């Protein structure tokens, strides 16, 4: 249960009994920043003071009086300008702990999403080469966001949009053709300017040689291009999927841009917009400030993006008559909408920032306001080693590959670190620091907490064979009376709220910070046991207390595993 949601409802009930019919939408129930202010604080009296026609403190006193009768509330005080602070009974916290233990890693699951369909599109890298480090962040972010939304009760589809219709695919096909000739024994020399030089195309060339023999070698381009396009795209996509698998990232659906074009969906969506009078032939104003050298006014097919909040209208057709990217993107998002996704999330690189408004405008237009598109832009990752900018081997071209990165530090480290910043902030990724065993390496710190818990559990099993058997009941858990223990329980009980707020904000990084806090609280309790032996988890001559503390540890394990599960990071039981 999200206890803050629960108490918000309880508070509103109390208000209703005092002054019925108020608009309570602005009432909040939150953990106070200051722990001395109790467990739950509400602003109810302050936001309702006008509508209720009472002074904030007077209204607060009345609400407080009503809340004092609640069995889970041990103390109520009115403070400051009219805050109502609740302190909850220990028994309430023990119930929460029991709830964690009963749920295990499922703890934190929420029905907030009510099973609504959400489409999360991420990676969508062009199928023209291997994944590089620039793709990694978006991949991990999208994957974790999708998992987070699943946890929060949404029906999530993970999607990859394959840009296989643009001219870059022709370039790819020609590059593959060159490698094909190479595989047949021809000397190809330098890769000509304008083709992809990367060696990753060699296997594709060899596969082509195997499949066709010399049959294509002397044919004109028009005869082999379509076939090689498909072949090369498939080969690249296989490679990308492989790279992603190495990072533990997966997708449910791959949508082909060419497929949309061939099925006439681009034409359909533009017909639809034309029917609404949102497309016209016109001439755009030149951009202000520095003009591109070759700028000249020319009539274009334009979408009235300005009617939906964009800065200028946007072109749909190139001068050669083919669709712009934007045109097929409109078709693609209409397609998503028609597949039932009223809620769409696109994860893009920050360099596409200028594209957001027009895409949101298009979604509004095409869904008649029924669809919602949130675009999450992932900022650059600065790769460092020992604090200095770092370049890895360039065996695949001019970039650091994702594969190299995963090989260097492991998938779990890559995933966790990528999620320790909010998506629109720059991220430093230091190859040395992420492997450090210290408190300022969050991956280690969180993993270590989990492993330490397991260590104690293994130790306990040696003392009492049944120690880690059935979960202890509330009467046993009630032996946990130290403030540090109760503090840890409070933190655990806050997990459902964290999941919901992170999911609502589409911000998985909040989970990383929560896990770090939880790990810190656990390690803190551990350290207290160093000085005060009575606080150690296992007390040989007090089996019941030990069982209660083991229960607490198992709850910590459950919540950490639950959070790492969202991140796709394995919770380890031993550090190596």
Partner RNA sequence: GCAGCCGUAGCUCAGCUGGAUAGAGCGCUGCCCUCCGAAGGCAGAGGUCGUAGGUUCGAAUCCUACCGGUUGCGCCA
Give the residue with the Cβ less far from RNA, 217 or 385.
Answer: 385
Distance of alpha carbon 535 from its chain centroid, rounded? 38
Give the residue with the Cβ less far from RNA, 18 or 350.
Answer: 350
Restricting to residues 44-73, which ones interact with RNA according to CB under 7 A? 46-47
Candidate list 35, 274, 481, 527; residue touching RNA; CB under 7 A: 527
Q: Per rule CB under 7 A, is residue 292 in the interface with RNA? A: yes
Alpha carbon distances (Å) from 274 to 263, 301, 304, 359, 368: 19, 11, 10, 17, 14
Q: Per rule CB under 7 A, is residue 303 in the interface with RNA? A: no
Give the residue with the Cβ less far from RNA, 216 or 552.
Answer: 552
Residues 6+ apart with CB under 8 A from 431: 383, 384, 385, 390, 408, 409
Q: Per rule CB under 7 A, is residue 325 in the interface with RNA? A: yes
Give the residue with the Cβ less far from RNA, 216 or 365.
Answer: 365
Restricting to residues 10-39, which ones interact with RNA according to CB under 7 A? 28, 30-34, 37
Buried b / exposed e over 323-353, threshold 16 CB at 10 Å, is bbebbbbbbbbbbbbeeebebbbbbbbeeee
Alpha carbon distances (Å) from 447 to 13, 434, 573: 42, 12, 8
Write 168-172 long-range contacts (CB < 8 A, 24+).
168/126, 168/128, 169/127, 169/128, 169/229, 169/232, 169/233, 170/225, 170/229, 171/128, 171/195, 171/196, 172/127, 172/128, 172/196, 172/229, 172/232, 172/233, 172/236
User: What is the DSSP annotation of 411-422?
Assistant: HHHHHHHHTSS-
Give the residue with the Cβ less far from RNA, 252 or 311.
Answer: 311
H/E run at residue 345: strand 343-349
Stretch touching RNA by CB under 7 A, among 76-84, 152-160, 207-215, 467-475: 76-84
Restricting to residues 362-421, which ones interact with RNA according to CB under 7 A? 377, 379-380, 421
Give the residue with the Cβ less far from RNA, 368 or 531.
Answer: 531
* Count of residues engaged in binding RNA, rule: CB under 7 A: 98
Give the residue with the Cβ less far from RNA, 166 or 183.
Answer: 166
Candidate list 9, 16, 68, 81; residue touching RNA; CB under 7 A: 81
Restricting to residues 183-242, which ones interact with RNA according to CB under 7 A? none
Restricting to residues 437-466, which ones interact with RNA according to CB under 7 A? 437-440, 445, 448, 451-452, 454-456, 458-459
Residue 104: CB minimum distance to RNA, A: 20
Token pair of 405, please?
Answer: 């990165």
Distance of alpha carbon 324 from its chain centroid, rounded? 29
Stretch touching RNA by CB under 7 A, among 16-24, 74-82, 208-216, 219-227: 74-82
Q: What span, in angstroms and rounded, lies between the C-alpha atoms of 146 and 144?
A: 5
Q: Per rule CB under 7 A, is residue 428 in the interface with RNA? A: yes
Is the CB of residue 500 less than 8 Å from the CB of residue 460? no
Q: Per rule CB under 7 A, is residue 427 in the interface with RNA? A: yes
Residues 6+ apart with CB under 8 A from 275: none
Residue 195: CB minimum distance to RNA, A: 14
Restricting to residues 113-152, which ones interact with RNA according to CB under 7 A? 126
Check residue 314 and report its DSSP letter: E
**Residue 23, number of CB atoms within 10 A of its CB:** 9
Restricting to residues 330-359, which ones interact with RNA according to CB under 7 A? 350-357
Stretch touching RNA by CB under 7 A, among 108-116, 409-417, 475-483, 507-515: 507-515
Residues 466-505, one symbol each (x = binds RNA by CB under 7 A, - = not), give -------------------------------x---x--xx
């Amino acid at each position: 249960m999200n206890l803050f949601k629960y108490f918000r409802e309880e508070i509103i009930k109390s208000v209703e009994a005092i002054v019925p019919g108020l608009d309570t939408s602005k009432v909040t129930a939150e953990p106070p920043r200051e722990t001395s202010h109790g467990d739950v604080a509400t602003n109810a009296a302050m936001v309702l003071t006008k509508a209720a026609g009472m002074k904030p403190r007077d209204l607060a006193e009345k609400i407080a009086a009503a809340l004092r009768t609640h069995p889970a509330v041990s103390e109520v005080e009115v403070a400051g300008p009219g805050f109502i602070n609740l302190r909850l009974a220990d028994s309430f916290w023990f119930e929460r702990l029991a709830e964690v233990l009963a749920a295990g890693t499922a703890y934190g699951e929420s029905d907030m999403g009510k099973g609504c369909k959400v489409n999360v599109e991420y990676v969508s890298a062009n199928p023209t080469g291997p994944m590089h480090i620039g793709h990694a962040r978006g991949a991990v972010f999208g994957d974790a966001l999708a998992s987070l939304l699943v946890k929060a009760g949404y029906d999530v589809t993970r999607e990859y949009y394959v840009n296989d219709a643009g001219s870059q695919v022709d370039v790819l096909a020609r590059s593959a053709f060159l490698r094909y000739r190479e595989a047949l024994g021809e000397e190809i020399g330098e890769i000509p300017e304008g083709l992809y030089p990367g060696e990753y195309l060699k296997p594709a060339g060899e596969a082509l040689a195997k499949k066709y023999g010399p049959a294509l070698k002397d044919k004109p381009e028009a005869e082999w291009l379509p076939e090689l396009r498909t072949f090369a795209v498939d080969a690249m996509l296989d490679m990308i999927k492989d790279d992603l698998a190495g990072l533990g990232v997966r997708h449910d659906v791959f949508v082909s841009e060419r497929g949309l074009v061939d099925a006439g969906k681009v034409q359909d969506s533009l017909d639809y917009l034309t029917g609404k009078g949102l497309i016209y032939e016109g001439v755009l104003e030149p951009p202000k400030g520095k003009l591109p050298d070759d700028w000249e006014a020319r009539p274009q097919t334009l979408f009235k993006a300005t009617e939906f909040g964009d800065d200028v209208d946007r072109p749909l057709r190139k001068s050669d008559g083919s669709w712009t990217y934007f045109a097929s993107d409109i078709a693609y998002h209409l397609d998503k909408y028609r597949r039932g996704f009223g809620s769409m999330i696109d994860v893009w690189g920050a360099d596409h920032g200028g594209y957001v408004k027009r895409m949101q405008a298009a979604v509004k237009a095409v869904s008649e306001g029924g669809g919602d598109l949130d675009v999450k832009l992932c900022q650059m990752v600065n790769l460092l080693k020992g604090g200095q900018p770092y370049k890895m081997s360039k065996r695949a071209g001019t970039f650091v590959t994702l594969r190299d990165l995963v090989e260097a530090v492991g998938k779990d480290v890559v995933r966790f670190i990528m999620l320790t910043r909010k998506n629109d902030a720059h991220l430093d990724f230091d190859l040395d620091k992420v492997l450090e065993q210290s408190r300022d390496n969050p991956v280690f710190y969180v993993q270590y907490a989990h492993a330490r818990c397991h260590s104690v559990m293994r130790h306990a099993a040696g003392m009492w064979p049944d120690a880690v058997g059935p979960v202890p009941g509330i009467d046993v858990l009630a032996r946990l009376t130290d403030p540090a223990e109760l503090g840890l329980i409070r933190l655990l009980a806050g997990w459902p709220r964290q999941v919901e707020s992170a999911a609502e904000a589409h911000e998985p990084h909040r989970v990383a910070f929560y896990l770090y806090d939880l790990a810190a609280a656990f390690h803190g309790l551990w350290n207290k046991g160093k000085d005060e032996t009575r606080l150690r988890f296992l007390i040989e001559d007090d089996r019941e207390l030990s069982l209660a503390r083991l229960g607490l540890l198992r709850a910590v394990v459950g919540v950490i595993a639950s959070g790492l599960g969202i991140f796709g990071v394995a919770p380890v039981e031993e550090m190596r």
